[in-house]
Amino acid sequence: MPDYLAVTDTRELTEAGRAVVAKGFVQRSEFITDAERLGVSVKDYGAKGDGVTNDAAAVQGALSEAAKGGVLNFPAGTYYMGGTTLSAVLSGPLSIQGNGVAKLVWDGSDGIKLTQNWATHTVTVDGVTLLTRAKGVGVALEIVGTGQNSTGTNLRPRTRNRGSITRVNIGGNSVEANSGGNGSELTDGWGKGIRLVDVMNFYGSQIHIDGYAGPTPGAYVSTHGIEMVTHPTNTQAVDVDFDKLHVFFVQCALDVTDYEGVLVDQANFIAVGTGFRFVATDSNTPLASFTNSQCAFINKAVDWRRVHQGLVDGANMYLHVNGGNPQGTAVYLEDVNASRVTDCMILGNGVTGGLKTGVTIAGTSSLNVVESCTFYATVVNPVNLGASTSKNKVRNLNLADAASQVVINAAGTANEVETEVSSFFGAPPVSRPQLPPSPTVQDIANALKSLGLVGQS
């Protein structure tokens, strides 16, 4: 009987030692490295994590090793990066783990930049805090995908997860007491929190981003919470989902260009210029949803252009509109088709001047529905249907104390507007036709007698 356990060959490992290959087993040239099995700790490469020592070289060394395929671990501590951007081109899957107790601090450069082939590699970032001492410059975390749209080749592996960002905090390093006695505020912050280029099948959850507000109220210096870009010639970066996304003090919380589908749930956008902006080159495929979310002290909550099949559902939008400029709109849809705005509470800022329009449907938008929404606190015009729109429907609106009328421009083609809309709190009641009084028993008896159906008394 042959000895199947007899040694027939050896192979060099990528880390140390040799592999033993027995008879009857397939010989392989790839082996599990220590980085894959145990992870790479930045402290093994000399990082101190004391917040004073410049740990950039040590962390970069650990990242370069883990980028071959493995886990990069940050034990509890504060890791000072100075002005060094950490970067890596992945040759295997990478997971960056901070366990919620690791902070990285930069002076003014970009933070982390990862480049990967989305066809074969995944990237995960979890439980880290990325801070900067700069005032509105630099990108905290940038992930660039190759082998997808950048080459014009559409791989579309829809069933594969290509990465995630979870439990990540991004913001400024310095905090000082607010002179008005209203707590504390950041005195610095990144220019952009996260930038994703040509990513696909990506998931983000429990992400908190604080931008740099700057010295002028409402004129935020930080431009983006999350910026997502793909190539307009091939808008097939698919399946990007966010939940529990919190963004403060930026010009745009989530800015998407030319993606096939982006879904946002349970977001909280506060003190930003625009909440969720999605601009596509054409309206053939882009899908979007914004659900169960809150926007407060914001100029525009949703700005979608050339989106096909979108949903805004269950959002609470409090519009500040630059301290009282009544020219804004809560939801703006331009050249958007087959979308729905439903079950939303849209509030203007009644103290500083109100909001001009709740929902604007513009361009050649068609087949959209606005329904079951409440407009409150001096929303001047709840819904505006543009002259070139068609086959849109507006129905079942609750005009709490919204001024003016329901639709300020319904000159499009075959738009349907429900004329009877409930109103209260000072808005004039909707006139209804007066119905005749209900007949009495005697009225019914007299009618039957006149028809000879009962005897005369």
**Inter-residue contact 375 to 358 (CB < 8 Å):** yes
pLDDT tens for 262-312 read 999 999 999 899 999 999 887 667 889 999 999 988 888 999 999 988 999
- Taking the C-alpha atoms of residue 7 and residue 157, their distance in angstroms, rounded to an integer, is 40
| 359-376 mean pLDDT | 90
- Taking the C-alpha atoms of residue 285 and residue 280, their distance in angstroms, rounded to an integer, is 9
Q: What six digits make up the tokens of 336? A: 């958007």
Position 23 pLDDT exceeds 60: no
- Taking the C-alpha atoms of residue 189 and residue 211, their distance in angstroms, rounded to an integer, is 5
Helix (H, G, I), strand (E, B) or coil at 46: coil
* Most confident region among 38-42, 110-114, 197-201, 305-309 by mean pLDDT: 110-114
pLDDT of residue 327: 54
- Taking the C-alpha atoms of residue 208 and residue 100, their distance in angstroms, rounded to an integer, is 13
pLDDT of residue 148: 46
Any idea where the domains of the chain sit in the sequence? 1-31, 41-450
Average pLDDT, the chain: 78
pTM of the full structure = 0.80
Q: Tokens 């962390």, residue?
A: 59
Three-class secondary structure assignment of 282-337 = CCCCCEEEEECCEEEEEEEEEEEECCECEEEECCEEEECHHHHCCCCEEEEEECCE
What percent of the chain stands above pLDDT 90? 44
Position 121 pLDDT exceeds 50: yes
Position 395 pLDDT exceeds 60: yes
Q: What percent helix, strand, coil does the chain show, rounded to 5?
A: 10, 45, 45
Least confident of 53-67, 86-100, 347-361: 347-361
pLDDT of residue 231: 61
What percent of the chain stands above pLDDT 70? 67
pLDDT of residue 444: 64
pLDDT tens for 150-192 read 333 333 444 455 689 999 999 988 755 444 434 445 678 999 9
Would you place residue 251 in the very low, low, confident or very high pLDDT band (cuts 50, 70, 90)? very high
- Taking the C-alpha atoms of residue 392 and residue 414, their distance in angstroms, rounded to an integer, is 7
Would you place residue 325 in the very low, low, confident or very high pLDDT band (cuts 50, 70, 90)? very low
Other Cβ atoms within 10 Å of 121 Cβ, number: 21
**Inter-residue contact 316 to 267 (CB < 8 Å):** no
pLDDT tens for 401-441 read 555 455 555 668 898 887 555 554 444 444 434 445 556 66
- Taking the C-alpha atoms of residue 248 and residue 225, their distance in angstroms, rounded to an integer, is 8
pLDDT of residue 44: 96
pLDDT of residue 381: 76
pLDDT of residue 367: 94
- Taking the C-alpha atoms of residue 310 and residue 337, their distance in angstroms, rounded to an integer, is 8
188 vs 96 pLDDT, higher one: 96
pLDDT of residue 182: 43
pLDDT of residue 453: 58
For domain 41-450, give the fold.
Pectate Lyase C-like (2.160.20)
